[in-house]
Chain A
Amino acid sequence: MTVVPASEVKSRMRSYIMQRLLMKGDGAPLHDDDLLFSSGRLDSLDAVELIMSVETDYGINFSDLGFDLTRLDSISAIARLVEQSSVEPA
Chain B
Amino acid sequence: MVGHNLGLRFQEIVAATPGAPALFCEGNSYSFRELNETANRFSRWLVSVGVDRGAVVCLEMPKIMEAYALALACIKIGAPYAFLDPAAPAERSRLMLDRCRASLILSVREGPGARIVVGDAAARAELRKAIAEFDGSDLPQTTEITGADPAYVMFTSGSTGEPKGVVIPHQGVLHLVEWAGNDLGIGPADRLTNVNPIYFDNSVFDIYAGLLNGAAIVAIDALRGRPPAELVAEITRHRCTFFFAVPTLFMFLDSMHLLSPDWLPNVTRFMFGGEGYPLARLRRFYDAFAGRAKLINCYGPTETSCICSGFDITAQVFDTSEGLAPLGRLNPNFSYRILDEDMKPIATGGVGELWLGGPGVGLGYINNPQETARRFRQDPLIDGYRSILYRSGDLVEVDRANVLRFRGRADNQVKLRGYRVELEEIDHAIAARTGITRALAAVLHDANGASRLLAAYSGTKQAETDLRQHCAARLPAYMIPSRFIWLEEIPVNANGKADRRSVASLLDEAHAKAS
Binding site for B on A (CB under 8 A): 19, 23-24, 26, 37-41, 43-45, 47-49, 51-53, 55-57, 61-63, 67-70
Give the Cβ gap from B482 to chain A, nearest Cβ, in Å. Answer: 6
CA distance A52 to B445 in the complex (A): 9
The 0/1 profile, CB within 8 Å of A marked 1, for residues 460-503 of chain B is 00000100100010000110101000000000000000000000
> Does B189 belong to the interface (CB within 8 Å)?
no
CA distance A43 to B468 in the complex (A): 19
CA distance A69 to B448 in the complex (A): 14
Stretch touching chain A among B22-30, B135-143, B223-231, B340-348: B223-231
> Does B447 belong to the interface (CB within 8 Å)?
yes
Stretch touching chain A among B61-69, B144-152, B199-207, B252-260: B252-260
- Name the contact of A70 in the complex, choosing from B248, B256, B480 (C-beta under 8 A): B256
A23-B256 in contact (CB<8A): no
CA distance A44 to B253 in the complex (A): 8
CA distance A79 to B185 in the complex (A): 48
Residues of A within 8 A of B472 (CB): 23
Give the total number of A-B pairs whose CB atoms are below 8 A apart.
82
Q: Which residue of A lies closest to B249 (CB)?
A: A44
CA distance A68 to B465 in the complex (A): 30
CA distance A47 to B420 in the complex (A): 19
Nearest 7 A/B pairs, CB to CB: A69-B255, A44-B252, A43-B223, A40-B227, A57-B515, A40-B226, A52-B452
For chain A, what secondary structure do more than half of its interface residues adopt (helix, strand, loop), or is it mixed? helix
> Does B417 belong to the interface (CB within 8 Å)?
yes
B223-A44 in contact (CB<8A): yes
Chain A to chain B contacts (Cβ below 8 Å), 18 pairs: A19-B465, A23-B468, A24-B224, A24-B225, A26-B225, A38-B227, A40-B230, A44-B417, A45-B477, A48-B417, A49-B452, A55-B446, A56-B512, A62-B448, A68-B257, A69-B255, A70-B256, A70-B257
- Name the contact of B477 in the complex, choosing from A24, A37, A40, A48 (C-beta under 8 A): A24
Binding site for A on B (CB under 8 A): 222-230, 248-249, 251-252, 254-257, 280-281, 284, 417, 446-448, 450-452, 465, 468, 472, 477-478, 480, 482, 511-512, 515
Give the Cβ gap from B416 to chain A, nearest Cβ, in Å. Answer: 9
Q: Which residue of B lies closest to A38 (CB)?
A: B227
Residues of A within 8 A of B284 (CB): 67
Give the Cβ gap from A27 to chain B, nearest Cβ, in Å. Answer: 13
Q: Which residue of B lies closest to A69 (CB)?
A: B255
A38-B229 in contact (CB<8A): yes
A47-B255 in contact (CB<8A): yes
Known contacts A43-B252, A44-B248, A67-B281, then 6 further A-B pairs from the complex at CB < 8 Å, ordered by chain A residue: A23-B480, A26-B225, A37-B252, A40-B230, A52-B452, A68-B257
- Name the contact of B450 in the complex, choosing from A26, A43, A52, A57 (C-beta under 8 A): A52
CA distance A54 to B391 in the complex (A): 39
CA distance A43 to B222 in the complex (A): 9
- Name the contact of A47 in the complex, choosing from B252, B465, B480 (C-beta under 8 A): B252
Give the Cβ gap from A25 to chain B, nearest Cβ, in Å. Answer: 9
Residues of A within 8 A of B478 (CB): 45
- Name the contact of B255 in the complex, choosing from A24, A39, A52, A67 (C-beta under 8 A): A67
Residues of B within 8 A of A38 (CB): 227-229, 256
